[in-house]
Every structure is written in structure tokens, then in C-alpha cells.
Amino acid sequence: MARAAYVTDLKSLQGECSANYLRLLRLIGDMEAGQARDIALSANTHHFGDLHLEVLETAPYTTMVQVSQTGPLDDFMAGPRMRVHLYHDVRMAEVTDFQRERHFNGRYRYPNARMHQPDEKLQLNRFLGEWLAHALAHGHSYDLPEVR
């Protein structure tokens, strides 16, 4: 029996990108190009490392942010790193670079040479969303005063 081809779930992808835009705005605030912020990630008493946000470029309609994480396993493997473009006119944030790989298609045939999942782009943006949601829920910024 032939498998049906994967169809891009555009509604889910756009929803994820819109939610990530709002999450990133909360985390970067009014930071400008060249500025960075570190957020300690923890749950209960476990420290999972630091989320590093760096604004690389700003323009009237876009902002480019580098998102990475450092942690206790850095001696053994590099933490995740991605570049995210914020599009202010449509209020969306999209992962455009992950682990130095750029330009992800909306869908891939499977199997493929790089072993991307059929919905690789959606999965990367979901991962960013989960990462940012954790930072908002459990993160502690090193450079912001505590708000009470």
C-alpha cells in the first residue's frame, strides 16, 4: 500500500511562529543590535544551563536573534544553537538556521540525504517554542532586576 505524501501543516507552522514572536519579544525586550542576555534555566533544584540571547541585527521590519544554550555537558557536546528572524510586520518569528544549517524547506521527501524529517521546519519552530516557554516559566535573568 502506498503512503500518502506529507502535506505541510501551514496553520500549525504559522501559529507556532506567531507564539514564538511573542515569547521572544518578552525575553529580549528592548535590546538592540550587539546586546545579549543570559537566562539561567532550571526546574526544581536542577540547573540545566544558560539560555543565551543575542540580537545580531535590527531593521525597521525585522530583527535577527541568535539563541543558544550552554550547560553542564559542554565538554562532551555543543548545546543547541539557532538563528531566528523576527518579522515585525506579520508578528512572526522563524528559525532560519539550526546548528549551522540554513534554509529549511516546508517539507522533505523521506528518506533524504540529510535525513530531515518530512516536517523538519515545523519541528524546529516547535522546539524553539518549547525552549522559550521553559525559559519564561523557569528562567532567571542575570541582568534584569527582580520584579515584585
How many whole angstroms from its chain centre is CA 25? Answer: 12
C-alpha cell at 80: 543547541
Tell whether 3 is covered by a domain.
no
Domain ranges, residue 122: 10-141
**What percent of the chain shows pLDDT beyond 90?**
50
**What are 14-73's pLDDT values in tens digits?**
999 999 999 999 999 999 999 999 999 877 788 888 999 999 999 999 999 999 998 877
Number of domains, the chain:
1
Q: Residue 146: inside a domain, yes or no?
A: no
Domain assignment present for residue 5? The answer is no
Question: What span, in angstroms and rounded, lies between the C-alpha atoms of 84 and 56?
Answer: 10
Residues 6+ apart with CB under 8 A from 20: 84, 92, 93, 125, 128, 129, 132
Kindly state whether residue 91 falls inside one of the protein's structural domains. Answer: yes
pLDDT at 148: 34
